[in-house]
């Protein structure tokens, strides 16, 4: 099930609830099993980093964190790296292993 709209900076991302995640740090890979529809996704080190950052943080927060981590190792402009981060996050959403967090219902007008 592919995403129907591109990510925006305010979207909050989290792991799918029914995933089985098996890190294999010895070879810098992570396997993610998604049962519905059944699929095993292999994440390289970069995708794994993005996947691990999807714990309810916003797209802009994840971009800032990853760009900051890469500053010491990458001479490209931060805007170029941020674009790559956004593209990688979109791919994780399109693979249905990361999802947009559903807003929690507010209790406006409720009395106790």
Where do runs of H (alpha helix) occur along the chain? 45-53, 59-70, 78-94
pLDDT of 104: 63
Closest CA to 8 of 63, 67, 69: 63
Predicted confidence at residue 110, as pLDDT, reads 54
Would you write out the chain's pLDDT as a tens digit for each of its 112 residues?
Answer: 455 679 999 999 999 989 999 999 999 999 999 998 899 999 999 999 999 999 999 999 999 998 888 766 777 777 778 889 999 999 999 999 999 987 666 555 555 4
């Amino acid at each position: 099930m592919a995403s129907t709209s591109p990510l925006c900076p305010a979207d909050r991302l989290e792991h799918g609830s029914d995933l089985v995640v098996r890190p294999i740090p010895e070879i810098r890979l992570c396997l993610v099993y998604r049962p519905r529809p059944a699929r095993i996704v292999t994440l390289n080190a970069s995708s794994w980093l993005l996947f691990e950052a999807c714990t309810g943080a916003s797209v802009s927060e994840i971009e800032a964190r990853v760009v900051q981590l890469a500053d010491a190792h990458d001479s490209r402009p931060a805007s170029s790296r941020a674009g790559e981060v956004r593209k990688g996050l979109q791919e994780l959403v399109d693979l249905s292993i990361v999802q947009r967090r559903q807003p929690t219902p507010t209790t406006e007008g409720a009395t106790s």
